[in-house]
Amino acid sequence: MKWRGLEESKSGLGHATLKAALDERRALMEQYVPAETQALNRRAVEELRASSIAERILPAGAAAPSFELPDEDGKTVSSKTLLETGPLVVIFLRGRWCPFCVATAEAWNQALPLVRAAGGSLVAISPQTVHQSYLMHEQHNLGFPLLSDAANRVARQFGLVYRMAPYQQEIYSRTFVNLPFINGDASWELPLPAAYVIAPDGRVRYAAADPDYTLRPEPRVVCAHLAG
């Protein structure tokens, strides 16, 4: 993949851990993104932290909302159906435009054998349109469904949704990240990147979300909760 048109040394597929892939992207961001833009992005993260949004997400022990969402091919995927065969890992992503989300998706692609060995299944959810999910799925050769959550309806039930600050909207518009087009709505809303493990009985076994979009839990840490 590229960062602002500059080729990365390796894709996330070559890293032993998700953290290593995220660290590389963070280093590239520090190298190539203007300092003033980095400062505004840090400001947005700190404002999200101050809002205590991470403390209000759906927690472990809660009943997870059921959902039916279209995958990258437009086929409806039901959480109820998936849970009939075992636990479910649900990853919330911002979209294919986010290098940190791409690294996360690639890391989970590598972790699929761990999920399946535990009798589980995996889906990723983002607010991007079905077409954008199709492009991401094909480009990164993903082995799990990418579900499109129009207007963040499901993410909202998990307590993850926030509206991007106006100054950050301006930054994204200048760098050709057209969220209204990518997501098919003009809300400028996104989910916190998050990871959940849902037990077959519909209860949340594991929940993690961070206002800092450059931080994500390791798949192996998440998968440790599949056995219950």
Given this model, what pLDDT does residue 4 score? 37
Tokens at 164, concatenated: 């991007």
Given this model, what pLDDT does residue 15 score? 74
Tokens at 21, concatenated: 């892939």
What's the whole-number mean pLDDT along residues 14-33? 92
pLDDT of 227 over the 60 cut: yes
pLDDT of 10 over the 50 cut: no
Domain boundaries, the chain: 14-54+74-223
pLDDT in tens, 64-81: 999 999 999 999 999 999
Residue 63 gets which letter from DSSP?
Answer: B
Q: Do the Cβ atoms of 205 and 87 come closer than 8 Å?
A: yes
Sign of CA dihedral 157, 211, 217, 107: positive
Given this model, what pLDDT does residue 58 score? 98
What's the whole-number mean pLDDT along residues 99-120? 97
Give CATH for domain 14-54+74-223: 3.40.30.10
Per-residue three-class SS string for 94-159: CCCCCHHHHHHHHHHHHHHHHHHHCCCEEEEEECCCHHHHHHHHHHCCCCCCEEECHHHHHHHHCC
Give the CA count within 13 Å in the CB-facing half-sphere of 167: 11
Mean pLDDT over each residue of the chain, to the nearest integer: 93
How far is the first Cα of the chain from the last one, in angstroms, to the nearest whole number?
36
What pLDDT band is residue 175 in, cutting at 50, 70 and 90? confident
What's the whole-number mean pLDDT along residues 6-27? 72
pLDDT in tens, 125-166: 999 999 999 999 999 999 999 999 999 999 999 999 999 999
Given this model, what pLDDT does residue 8 score? 39
pLDDT in tens, 181-196: 999 999 999 999 999 9
Tokens at 1, concatenated: 């993949």
Residue 54 gets which letter from DSSP?
Answer: G
What pLDDT band is residue 176 in, cutting at 50, 70 and 90? confident
What's the whole-number mean pLDDT along residues 103-112? 97
pLDDT of 90 over the 80 cut: yes
